[in-house]
């Protein structure tokens, strides 16, 4: 066989996925396996996303991603150490190796992606920045708040967006800045500021959990920014980055296939649908091999936390105190933006 023909056949095989070889574990992935625990950076307390109860048990949408990642890598979704971080602490903690993954309602932006030594895994929640205001002030819209004082957390895209919005609309807004969100919300509820601003999901969370009378506060309808929130990992370990990406994709694809926490065992045993068998490691195909994992990595993630839709509904959906609609966070084939590349 000629060298040219050999190269051509090799290229075709690679295109078809026939030349896949096992992944070589990187230093971060090796360290997680050796430690026997995933260290996950989370919010200090944001209901629905990451918050600890009185017994120290962490729950939330961001927490469940960490549990799924631990289940895929370590075989147990409980092998997670949670590191609560402020907005100012989060990037340094990831850069320094203090945490393995940052899953803390963090917006994916160009500057963060390109200059902070981190890779965003994907989007777990499409959001946008809004405003909350006492109902008694009778404010009808975001552009009717000229000259108002606004409580905001420092070190966030929220603070930057507020400045841009005020300048672009000649509103002369007066930011009152706090390092911790708890301080910012406390100041708002005590009347120090006329408004509070953060991501719309955060506004709903704060109103449901911290307001003495949630109905006394209105979340204005306008969103002033795009806030795609998602986990991130440190640069330097492409193998671990791949695992972190595909765990999220697996949770999305599970919802597409109708795989739930309740039926995953039954489908793993009985399903003849190729996509389901491949995702759950039930057939002859081994997607884990190229990730440096075993073939049941996605099955364990789904068994631990359910599919993406279940995670959303459990923590922030319409039946929770936070009460958010799926909206943009629905699957692509149901009018939303959630779309996973094929797990194959």
CB count within 10 Å of CB 339 equals: 14
Q: Is residue 57 part of a domain?
A: yes
- Rounded-to-integer distance, Cα 2 and Cα 259, Å: 47
CA 53 → CA 47, 203, 208, 314, distances in Å? 10, 20, 16, 16
Six-digit token string for 321: 């105190």
CATH number for the domain harbouring residue 255: 3.40.190.10
Helix (H, G, I), strand (E, B), or coil: what is residue 62? helix
Same domain, 114 and 255: yes
Residue 190 tokens read as 């005590």
Based on the fold, state whether residues 142 and 160 are members of the same structural domain. Answer: yes
Helix ranges, 79-195 (H): 90-96, 110-115, 157-168, 181-189
Last residue of a domain, one of 225, 247, 275: 225
Measured CA to CA, the distance from residue 163 to residue 169 in angstroms comes to 10
Same-domain check for residues 147 and 103: no
Of 230, 265, 195, nearest in space to 338 by CA: 230
Domain count, the chain: 2
| Burial group, residue 41, by CB count within 10 angstroms (0-12, 13-18, 19+) | buried
Q: Mark whether 95 and 53 lie in a shared domain.
A: yes
The per-residue pLDDT for 21 is 56
Residue 326's CB: how many other CB atoms inside 10 A? 17
Neighbour tally for 141: CB within 10 Å: 10
Could you tell me if 67 and 147 lie in one domain? Answer: no
pLDDT tens over the chain, length 344 residues: 544 444 444 454 444 444 455 556 689 999 999 999 999 999 999 999 999 999 999 999 999 999 999 999 999 999 999 999 999 999 999 999 999 999 999 999 999 999 999 999 999 999 999 999 999 999 989 999 999 999 999 999 999 999 999 999 999 999 999 999 899 999 999 999 999 999 999 999 999 999 999 999 999 999 999 999 999 999 999 999 999 999 999 999 999 999 999 999 999 999 999 999 999 999 899 999 999 999 999 999 999 999 999 999 999 999 999 999 999 999 999 999 999 999 99
**61-74 and 27-35 helices cross at what angle (nearest 10)?**
90
- pTM for the predicted model, two decimal places: 0.89
Q: Is 38 helix (H, G, I), strand (E, B) or coil?
A: strand
Q: What is the pLDDT of residue 279?
A: 98
Place of tokens 């690679």: 14
- Does residue 302 form part of some domain? yes
Is residue 342 assigned to a domain? no
Residue 218 shares a structural domain with residue 172: yes
Separation of alpha carbons 254 and 275, rounded Å: 10
**CA angle 89–226–91, rounded 5-degree value:** 15
The tokens for 33 are 């396996």
Encode 226-263: b = buried (16+ Cβ within 10 Å), e = exposed.
Answer: ebbbbbbbbeebebbbbbbbbbbbbbbbbbbbebbbee
Same domain? 237 vs 322:
yes
Give the distance, in angstroms, between the CA of residue 68 and the centroid of all CA atoms in the same chain: 12
CA–CA gap between residue 175 and residue 292 (Å, rounded)? 48
> Are residues 235 and 102 part of one domain?
yes
| Structural domain ending residue among the three candidates 196, 225, 254 | 225
- On whether residue 341 sits in a domain, the answer given is no
Q: Let me know if residue 16 belongs to a domain.
A: no
Say if residue 255 is in the same domain as residue 209.
no
Give the pLDDT of residue 18: 46
In order, the DSSP letters of 286-298 are: -TTGGGTS-TTHH
Flag whether 71 is in a domain: yes
d(CA 194, CA 133) in angstroms, rounded, equals 7
Kindly state whether residues 50 and 94 are assigned to the same domain: yes
Query: CA 24, 280, 77: angle at the middle one, nearest 5?
Result: 70
Domain that holds residue 238: 24-126+229-334
Q: Domain check: are 114 and 134 in the same one? A: no
Decide which of 192, 225, 258 is a domain's last residue: 225
For 268, residues 6+ apart whose C-beta sits below 8 A from its C-beta are: 280, 281, 282, 299
Same domain, 187 and 318: no
Cα separation, 85 vs 94, in Å, equals 10
In a domain, 70, yes or no: yes
Torsion of CA 280, 285, 288, 292, to 10 degrees: 170
Asked if the structure places residue 10 within a domain, the reply is no
The Cα 76–Cα 73 span in angstroms is 8
């Amino acid at each position: 066989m000629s060298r040219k023909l050999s190269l051509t056949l090799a290229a075709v095989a690679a295109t078809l996925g026939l030349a896949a070889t096992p992944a070589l574990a990187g230093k971060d992935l090796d360290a997680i396996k050796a430690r026997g625990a995933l260290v996950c950076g989370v919010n200090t307390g944001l209901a629905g996303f990451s918050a600890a109860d009185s017994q120290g048990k962490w729950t939330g949408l961001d927490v469940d991603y960490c549990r799924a990642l631990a289940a895929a890598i370590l075989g147990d979704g409980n092998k997670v150490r949670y590191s609560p971080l402020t907005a100012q602490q989060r990037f340094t903690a990831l850069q320094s190796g203090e945490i393995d993954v940052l899953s803390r309602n963090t917006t994916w932006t160009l500057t963060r992606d390109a200059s902070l030594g981190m890779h965003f895994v994907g989007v777990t929640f499409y959001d946008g920045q809004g405003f909350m205001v006492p109902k008694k002030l009778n404010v009808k819209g975001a552009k009717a708040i000229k000259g108002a004082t606004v409580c905001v957390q420092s070190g966030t895209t929220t603070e930057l967006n507020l400045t841009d919005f005020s300048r672009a609309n000649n509103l002369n807004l007066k930011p009152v800045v706090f390092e911790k969100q708890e301080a910012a919300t406390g100041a708002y509820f005590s009347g120090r500021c006329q408004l509070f601003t953060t991501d719309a999901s955060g506004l709903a969370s704060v109103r449901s959990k911290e307001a003495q009378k949630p109905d006394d506060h209105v979340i204005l309808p306008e969103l002033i920014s795009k806030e795609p929130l998602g986990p991130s990992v440190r640069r330097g370990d492409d193998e671990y980055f791949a695992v972190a990406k595909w765990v999220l994709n697996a949770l999305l694809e599970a919802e597409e296939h109708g795989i739930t926490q309740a039926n995953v065992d039954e489908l793993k045993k009985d399903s003849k649908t190729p996509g389901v068998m491949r995702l759950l490691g039930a057939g002859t195909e081994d997607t884990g091999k190229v990730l440096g994992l075993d073939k049941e990595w996605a099955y364990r993630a789904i068994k631990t936390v359910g599919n993406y839709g279940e995670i959303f509904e459990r923590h922030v959906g319409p039946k929770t105190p936070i009460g958010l609609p799926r909206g943009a966070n629905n699957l692509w084939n149901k009018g939303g933006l959630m779309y996973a590349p094929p797990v194959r």
